[in-house]
Structure 1
Amino acid sequence: MQLSLLRPMLDRPGPWASVYADTTHASEDAAKQRQLSARAAAEELAALGADNATCGAVHQALLEDVPTGGPGKRSGRAVLASDGAVVIDIPLAGPPAAPVTSWSPLPRISPLLKGIGEDPLCLVAYVNRLGADFELRGDGKQEAAGQIQGADWPLHRAPTADWSEKHFHTRVENTWERNAGEIAEAAADIWERSGADLLLLAGAPRERRAVRDRLPLPIRTVTVESEHGGRAPGSGSQLLERDIAEARAAHEAGHTAEVVERYWAGRGAERGAERESAPASAGVPALVEAAREHRIATLLVGPDGPDIGREVWIGPDPDQLATRRTELRYLGEAEPVAARADDALLRSAVAHKAEAVMVSDPAEAPEGGLGALLRWGTPGGQP
């Protein structure tokens, strides 16, 4: 999961209200159910010590009816609030694995990893011989991302067989080739600007292949094609929706598997295995040290483990974290507060543009529940 959507949390010192709620409410009295759920969450926060303004902000947010993508579709919400304002409000693709209502020094982020996963962003290109329309797709996201229009003549082969047919067909082929190149160039530009994770090409087979062959190699390796849908109005279909969903799921599973493999290879190298690999680390003391030095590239979070809820000490700055209260005072924070290790490490990951991956399989998760791939190895090394 790219954590950039959580950056607004860095501007708030806390404490934080965190609510992960089931918002399905598909019955006829859905409005009444929302009222009851919102009231229950606000009352629970108040009982935990949250201030009235923050309780009221969460209550108001949960009262709002957020579209879930279809009647009766199961859904959830993640609402994070501080100092009387909702800072982050994210619809979930389904109900949270377990409802969460907490009042703590830092927002609870681990349930969000479970709720939305990596949420890979898919750039969809609807292509034909003339150009392409682009669209960004993610969980709860569907927005136009641009258009490219190529040359419109000559675009079709002539049905005649006169003396100039061969020459004209060559010109048509050249038009197709130029348009495919321009579509690929536009796709690469939108890819870079949007931060997309994968590209899906929809359209006729020849046009798809022509564009794909002209993409830069890094994008081509994460490009898939769909036989369904196209650029013509009304050409969208449920089969195309299925292909987009499957492409996003496959990308997420593949990325998680790659991160896990690299992590365990790195742990093996640390223990003396004969294999070149990226450095990896585990254990709260080592991870805290790596976070303070901005060495964490990817934080791995397991579904369970003793390290996840282990107590660490923090200050208002993301770099102010330590395993012992006296250590944080030595680092300059006079009034450290206790927080969960997963929350503190995730805040650091947000601040320093790392990514985070939820490893759902306990057999593949880091020992203790927390681990990291590092940007570089030992302290004092070079990035």
Structure 2
Amino acid sequence: MDLAFLHPLYEHPGPWASVYVDTSRHTEGTPHERHLTAQALARELAGQGCDEATCGAVRSALEELAHSSEPNGRALFARAGEVVLDPSLARAPLRDSALWAPLPHTAPLLELAGEDPVCVVAYIDRRGADFELRTALGRRDAGTVSGRQHPIHRTSTVDWSERRFQLKVENTWEHNATEVADALAVCQEETGADLLILVGDDRERRAVHDRLPRRLHERAVEAPHGSGSRLLDEDVEQARAEHVRRRAERELERFLAAREPGEDGRAGAVEGVPALVEAAREHRIDELLIRPDGPDAHREVWIGEDPDQLAVRRTDLKILGEQNSWPARADDALIRSAVATGAVALSVTPATDDSPSGGLGALLRWA
């Protein structure tokens, strides 16, 4: 997940109100239910010590969602009477929540907004293809490509003239597959799609897949559906979930390989809070790996005003010359450091491996 959009959260000091709200339910009573939710979450923040102005800003922002048709949910981050950032979520949170803390509680975004593959579904036949863009917010047409329209169909005879005709049919198929693959590559570049789903007969899917640029081979999957069928939402969601799982597994494999010391005796990856804090202070984190249910994710660390003012113990910050310090969750503190240094972050929950130890790890920029 590219964390650049979180920069506004670290341009101002805390404390922060962090709210996650589910907007996936839509019934006749939804506006009233959301009104009650807004009041309840504002009261919860007030009970944690949030100032009245910030509670009011959060309550007003939540009230504005009373008639929202958003399919999943919204996160709100507020301070000093102002909502600074309110990203939409790609997945609904398990429950509504509100937290008042020195840092914004951004770690849930890795699962709720982070890995949300944008998909282009290509419905392929021998004449060309229709493209459809799928995101967590819905679907829309993404273009059409038409190849040669004649000749398309084979014959069943073995006459020499018919053999020549069949060869022309083969050439037409190959030409059209190339046209579709080229157009799909352009569509992927224009939309930034993470995943390409090819729908059609086996031969047609394979012909297009083989002609895609090599850089797109890992992004393309073939759906086991017949020509002309339209993928159901659950089919797309399954493909997207599989893509996220494969990505997490690849990054874990990289992490496990880098964790072993190289010829110089140094490792290219670290795990555990003390090692990660040291790497964050030295701006060495390249990719932060977080398993939100890991015990280290909510472990307490100490922070100063700047992102690289981070320590396991409060006394360590004083040794570093920082006079002001506050306790914070380890995952949120490490994400703040990652944002400041241009690192990325990834939830490894979709993978089956239990690494990294404690739920926190990182691939390093240098050992």
How does the TM-score come out when normalised to structure 1? Answer: 0.77
2:87 corresponds to which residue?
89
CA contact (8 A) 1:128 1:204 kept: yes
Change (3 A) 1:142 1:327: farther
2:207 corresponds to which residue?
210
1:18 corresponds to which residue?
18
Distance of 2:6 and 2:124 partners within structure 1: 34
CA contact (8 A) 2:145 2:183 kept: no
Using the TM superposition, give the Cα deviation of residue 343 of structure 1 relative to its aligned residue in structure 2, in angstroms.
0.5
1:57 corresponds to which residue?
57
Deviation string for 1:283-313 (max 9, x for gaps)? 3232123234243323233413146332221
2:68 corresponds to which residue?
66
Deviation string for 1:39-79 (max 9, x for gaps)? 1112222343434443333223323133365xxxxx55432
Deviates more, 1:149-158 or 1:286-295: 149-158
Change (3 A) 1:153 1:264: closer
Distance of 2:130 and 2:284 partners within structure 1: 39
Correspondence list, 1:175-324, <5 A: 175-228=172-225, 235-238=229-232, 241-267=233-259, 269-270=260-261, 279-292=268-281, 293-306=283-296, 308-316=298-306, 318-323=307-312
Change (3 A) 1:135 1:325: farther
Q: Does 1:111 align with 2:100?
A: no
- Specify every segment of 5 or more residues in structure 1 that has no aligned partner in the other structure, as ranges: 70-74, 378-383
2:334 corresponds to which residue?
345
Return the letter of the residue paired with 2:300. R
Using the TM superposition, give the Cα deviation of residue 197 of structure 1 relative to its aligned residue in structure 2, in angstroms.
2.8
CA contact (8 A) 1:283 1:370 kept: yes
2:150 corresponds to which residue?
154
Structure 1 segments of 4+ aligned residues over 6 angstroms from their partners: 158-163, 329-334, 360-363
Q: Does 1:31 align with 2:31?
A: yes
* 1:224 alignment partner, SS class: strand
2:98 is aligned, of 98, 101, 104, to 101
Identity fraction in percent: 44
What is the RMSD of the two structures over their aligned residues, measured on CA atoms? 3.7
Deviation string for 1:313-346 (max 9, x for gaps)? 1325x44444466766787866554432211211
Distance of 1:172 and 1:86 partners within structure 2: 60
- Specify every segment of 5 or more residues in structure 2 that has no aligned partner in the other structure, as ranges: none
How does the TM-score come out when normalised to structure 2? Answer: 0.80
Distance of 2:145 and 2:173 partners within structure 1: 12
CA contact (8 A) 1:299 1:349 kept: no
Using the TM superposition, give the Cα deviation of residue 211 of structure 1 relative to its aligned residue in structure 2, in angstroms.
0.6
Deviation string for 1:213-238 (max 9, x for gaps)? 1113342234211243766xxx5253
Deviation string for 1:4-27 (max 9, x for gaps)? 554553555443211123445556
Alignment size in residue pairs: 360
CA contact (8 A) 1:20 1:77 kept: yes
CA contact (8 A) 1:93 1:116 kept: yes
2:123 corresponds to which residue?
126
1:381 corresponds to which residue?
none
* 2:126 alignment partner, SS class: coil
Distance of 1:327 and 1:51 partners within structure 2: 30
Deviation string for 1:245-288 (max 9, x for gaps)? 22112222233233334434444x24x9x9x9972202323212
Distance of 1:345 and 1:52 partners within structure 2: 29
Distance of 2:278 and 2:10 partners within structure 1: 20
Deviation string for 1:70-107 (max 9, x for gaps)? xxxxx5543223451251232353342x5431122321
* 1:110 alignment partner, SS class: coil
CA contact (8 A) 2:22 2:74 kept: yes
Distance of 1:369 and 1:34 partners within structure 2: 34
CA contact (8 A) 1:298 1:355 kept: yes
Distance of 2:130 and 2:365 partners within structure 1: 37
Distance of 2:231 and 2:270 partners within structure 1: 45
* 2:108 alignment partner, SS class: helix
Distance of 2:332 and 2:198 partners within structure 1: 38
Deviates more, 1:333-342 or 1:322-331: 322-331
Distance of 2:156 and 2:246 partners within structure 1: 50
Q: Does 1:368 align with 2:358?
A: yes
Deviation string for 1:185-220 (max 9, x for gaps)? 232333345443322111233321111011133422
